């Protein structure tokens, strides 16, 4: 009985949770505002867990996560609008909009793939440089991506790009369900699940071997360059997926929303949660999203309070909430009730 | 049939800027030999190990492992040719369990990739089971299995040294390089280490090349010694002869005529 509970408890909880949120959204029992906060929570979980892979598990210092998010957001937005919506620039939809529902995950994944390829370009300098130098390179990459899009008039330049709402609406017309909520939920769970599997495999443990002693890793047969490339691509690919979802939730993207401030937000989430702790990254993303909403009345002063919180955190608990441990390390008894693989 | 030597180094020279760290070094190690490399501090011993393990590319000269040249290979590729090493200052992965330290060292022969890890394919499950089993068995052989789930930092210093040697052995090397294995050990641990190295030499089909400062360790273990000073080979031969060589005594103790 216990092993049955252990084996299926996570699936059961996830299905119940997903079903509940979907049902509540469908019945309009929770308002659009709460719903959008929940969806941003999902996006933030993807962002913080994926950056945690590079900054926490691998011990590198990447500061340009929003850049990859931007690539994913634009690629999936353009692809979606091009295929399924009537647009001033791109003209009539290329495919029957009724199919949007089925193609949507592919569109988001394509955005992720494009971001992963961008991540490959940033991985290359990481073979030679670490720490501060890599931080500068990733910031530069973030700026390059934004400037590039600001100067591409076809996709709106700095005014931004829209039309994604049409795609979302066609999905809802095809089959009346709150599709965005469902997709955000699925992708968030998928992201955490993929990272969990990657980190717990011997292959993925090469990442923490690099973090702890890169020389020993290379001598002990770990192909460090290959592992770094794969890890960077996985991390930036997931950021791209988060970007794609973000774009479809809001229905509008502009390069300004992916600037260094957004990257900093993600960094704050990673440090808040604790380096190399997957459950910490999930937890801090949830807390941070709620915090941002609670502080919304403060408007711009919010950006005084949040960095201040970070300073206080660094003073009193520099290792973050979880401090490179997982939930199951803190509460070993939990292991009896769930298995997450 | 003549087999290629396990390790052959020909005319190895290494410059760092204007400094010649190694000049014209030669050696041939046969199968299952136990050889030593000694020399005063800064003589270039570790540099030679770094060159053999592919960490540096030599300025001149060639290195062959099992008859295959190592020129241009990254360290993990050199490891795949059959070289494993330990370090002067222990370099274990301290935030990983003892068992994981051994398992991650199998990275070169995993045989599955990224997507296998995500999808938990059959190859993945079989490989992980096999690696887990082999790592555990190896720890058992060296009586480290009771520490399998501990972190290396919680082990006494002597056992950390031992674990590093076991991790190197887990690569199934034909050439094992030990860089000052006795550094920082007390006399009891040192005798333990000598027994361990001799036992490894007898039980595994492996050639061992040791750098060490403790002459008594070298005398007990090695058939052949090579002495270098400022990158030059100043003496070589059976251990007892080398110990009496006047050039070696001068290098270690200084010239008495000064």
Q: Give yes or no for residue B220 having a pLDDT over 70.
A: yes
Task: Estimate the crossing angle of helix B157-169 against helix B187-203, to 10 degrees.
Answer: 10
Confidence class for position B93, pLDDT limits 50, 70, 90:
very high
In terms of domains, do B14 and B136 share one? Answer: no
Q: Give yes or no for residue B104 having a pLDDT over 90.
A: yes
Let me know: does A7 contact A336? Beta carbons within 8 Å.
Answer: no
The CA distance from A100 to A80, in Å, is 8
User: What percent of chain B shows pLDDT beyond 90?
Assistant: 67
Range of the domain at B106: 96-150
Residues B87, A216: C-beta atoms closer than 8 Å: yes
Does a structural domain hold residue A38?
Answer: yes
pLDDT of residue A339: 67
Of A109, A79, A122, the residue nearest A233 (C-alpha):
A122
In chain B, how many domains are there? 2
In terms of domains, do B76 and B172 share one? Answer: yes
Supply the ipTM of this predicted assembly.
Answer: 0.90
CATH of the domain at B248: 3.40.50.300
Across the A:B interface, residue pairs with CB atoms under 8 Å apart total: 98
Neighbours of B151 (CB within 10 A): 16
In terms of domains, do B106 and B176 share one? Answer: no
- Name the token pair of A159: 């005014």
Neighbours of A96 (CB within 10 A): 10
Nearest chain B residue to A207, by CA: B104
Task: Estimate the crossing angle of helix A260-273 against helix A131-150, to 10 degrees.
Answer: 140
Let me know: does A89 contact A154? Beta carbons within 8 Å.
Answer: yes
pTM of the model: 0.92
pLDDT of residue B14: 93
Calculate mean pLDDT across residues B207-236. Answer: 88
The CA distance from A58 to A212, in Å, is 8
Nearest chain B residue to A203, by CA: B107
Phi first, then psi, for residue B178 (nearest 5°) are: -110, 115
In terms of domains, do B30 and B128 share one? Answer: no
Of A89, A68, A76, A248, the residue nearest A153 (C-alpha):
A89
Using the CB atoms, write b or e for B56-69: b if 16+ within 10 Å.
Answer: bebeebebbbbeee
Per-run averaged pLDDT (10 residues), chain A, 341 residues: 73 88 85 91 96 92 93 95 82 80 92 96 80 86 94 87 88 86 94 94 94 93 93 96 96 92 90 88 93 86 82 84 77 71 61
In terms of domains, do B187 and B242 share one? Answer: yes
Using an 8 Å CB-CB cutoff, list residues of chain B that contact chain A.
53, 55, 74-76, 79-80, 84-85, 87, 91-96, 100, 103-110, 112-114, 116-118, 120, 124, 127-128, 131, 167-168, 171
Residues B104, A220: C-beta atoms closer than 8 Å: yes
Question: What residues contact B1, with CB distance under 8 A and at least 6 apart?
Answer: none
The four Cα atoms B245, B251, B257, B258 give a dihedral, to 10 degrees, of: 180
Of B64, B90, B89, B92, the residue nearest B78 (C-alpha):
B64
Confidence class for position B1, pLDDT limits 50, 70, 90:
very low
Helices (H) then strands (E): counts for chain A: 14, 2
User: Which of B51, B52, B93 to mutate: most A Cβ within 10 Å?
Assistant: B93
The CA distance from A195 to A273, in Å, is 16
Does a structural domain hold residue A341?
Answer: no
Give the end-to-end CA distance of chain A in Å, rounded to a whole number: 19
pLDDT of residue B255: 65
Q: How far is A329 from chain B (nearest CA, A)?
A: 13
Calculate mean pLDDT across residues B21-30. Answer: 92
Nearest to B118 among A194, A205, A224 (CB): A194
Chain A CB contacts of B79 under 8 Å are 219-221
Range of the domain at A258: 2-336
In terms of domains, do B190 and B106 share one? Answer: no
Helix (H, G, I), strand (E, B) or coil at B24: strand
In terms of domains, do B87 and B108 share one? Answer: no
Q: Give yes or no for residue B141 having a pLDDT over 80.
A: yes
Does a structural domain hold residue B157?
Answer: no
In terms of domains, do B142 and B186 share one? Answer: no
The DSSP code for A55 is I
Per residue in A270-300, pLDDT tens? 988 888 889 999 999 999 999 989 988 887 8
Reported as half-sphere exposure (CB side, CA atoms, 13 A), residue B251 has a value of 22
Strand locations in chain B, DSSP E?
Answer: 7-16, 19-29, 34-38, 60-65, 68-69, 83-85, 175-179, 207-211, 224-229, 232-238
In terms of domains, do B101 and B86 share one? Answer: no
In terms of domains, do B100 and B138 share one? Answer: yes
Residues B76, A212: C-beta atoms closer than 8 Å: no
Using DSSP bridges, classify how beta strands B34-38 and B224-229 pair: parallel, antiparallel or unpaired.
parallel
Q: Which of A44-58, A295-309, B35-49, B188-202 shows the lowest per-residue confidence on average (mean pLDDT)?
A: A295-309
Residues A223, B80: C-beta atoms closer than 8 Å: no
Q: Mean pLDDT of all residues in chain B?
A: 90
In chain A, how many domains are there? 1
The CA distance from A303 to A184, in Å, is 27
In terms of domains, do B131 and B144 share one? Answer: yes
Neighbours of B192 (CB within 10 A): 16
Give the end-to-end CA distance of chain B in Å, rounded to a whole number: 53
Nearest chain B residue to A211, by CA: B93
In terms of domains, do B45 and B101 share one? Answer: no
Does a structural domain hold residue B139?
Answer: yes
Per residue in B145-179, pLDDT tens? 999 999 999 999 999 999 999 999 999 999 999 99
CATH of the domain at A277: 1.10.3470
């Amino acid at each position: 009985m216990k092993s049955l509970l252990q084996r299926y408890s996570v699936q059961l909880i996830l299905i119940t949770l997903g079903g509940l949120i979907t049902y509540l959204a469908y019945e309009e029992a929770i308002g659009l505002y709460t719903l959008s906060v929940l969806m941003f929570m999902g996006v933030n979980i993807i962002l913080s867990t994926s950056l945690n892979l590079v900054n926490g598990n691998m011990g590198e210092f990447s500061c340009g996560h929003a850049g990859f998010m931007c690539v994913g957001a634009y690629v999936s937005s353009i692809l979606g609008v091009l295929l399924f919506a009537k647009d001033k620039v791109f003209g009539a939809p290329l495919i029957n909009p009724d199919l949007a529902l089925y193609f949507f995950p592919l569109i988001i994944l394509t955005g992720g793939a494009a971001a992963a390829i961008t991540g490959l370009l940033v991985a290359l300098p990481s073979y030679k440089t670490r720490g501060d130098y890599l931080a500068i390179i990733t910031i530069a990459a973030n700026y390059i991506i934004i400037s590039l899009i600001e100067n591409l008039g076809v996709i709106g330049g700095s005014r931004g790009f829209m039309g994604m709402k049409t795609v979302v609406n066609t999905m809802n017309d095809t089959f009346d369900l709150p599709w965005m909520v469902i997709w955000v939920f699925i992708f968030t769970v998928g992201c955490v699940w993929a990272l969990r599997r990657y980190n717990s495999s011997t292959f993925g443990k090469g990442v923490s071997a690099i973090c702890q002693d890169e020389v020993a890793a290379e001598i002990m047969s770990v192909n460090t360059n290959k592992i770094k490339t794969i890890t960077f691509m996985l991390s930036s690919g997931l950021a791209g997926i988060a970007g794609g979802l973000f774009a479809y939730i809001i229905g509008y993207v502009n390069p300004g929303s992916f600037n260094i401030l957004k990257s900093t937000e993600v960094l704050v989430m990673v440090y808040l949660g604790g380096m190399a702790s997957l459950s910490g990254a999930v937890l801090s993303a949830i807390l941070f999203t709620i915090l941002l909403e609670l502080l919304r009345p403060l408007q711009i002063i919010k950006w005084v309070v949040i960095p201040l919180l970070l300073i206080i955190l660094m003073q009193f608990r520099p290792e973050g909430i979880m401090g490179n441990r997982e939930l199951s390390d803190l509460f070993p008894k939990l292991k009896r009730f769930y298995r997450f693989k | 049939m003549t087999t290629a030597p396990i390790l052959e180094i020909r005319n190895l020279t290494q410059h760092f800027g204007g400094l010649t760290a190694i000049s014209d070094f030669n050696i041939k190690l046969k199968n299952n030999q136990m050889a030593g490399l000694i020399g005063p501090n800064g003589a270039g011993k570790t540099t030679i190990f770094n060159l053999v393990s592919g960490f540096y590319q030599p300025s001149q000269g060639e290195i062959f492992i099992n008859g295959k040249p190592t020129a241009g290979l990254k360290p993990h590729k050199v490891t795949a040719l059959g070289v494993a090493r330990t370090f002067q200052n222990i370099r274990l992965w301290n935030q990983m369990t003892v068992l994981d330290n051994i398992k991650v060292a199998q990275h070169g022969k995993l045989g599955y990739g990224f997507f296998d890890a995500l999808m938990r394919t059959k190859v993945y499950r079989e490989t992980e089971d096999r690696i887990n089993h082999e790592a555990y068995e190896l720890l058992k052989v060296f009586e480290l299995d009771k520490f399998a789930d501990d972190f290396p930092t919680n082990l006494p210093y002597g056992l950390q040294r031992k674990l590093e040697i076991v991790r190197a052995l887990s690569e199934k090397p034909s050439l094992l390089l030990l860089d000052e294995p006795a550094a920082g050990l007390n006399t009891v641990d040192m005798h333990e280490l000598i027994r361990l190295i001799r036992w490894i030499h007898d039980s595994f089909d492996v050639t061992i090349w040791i750098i060490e400062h403790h002459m008594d360790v070298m005398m007990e273990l090695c058939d052949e010694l090579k002495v270098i000073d400022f990158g030059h080979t100043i003496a070589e031969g059976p251990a007892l002869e080398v110990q009496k060589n006047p050039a070696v005594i001068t290098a270690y103790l200084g010239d008495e005529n000064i």
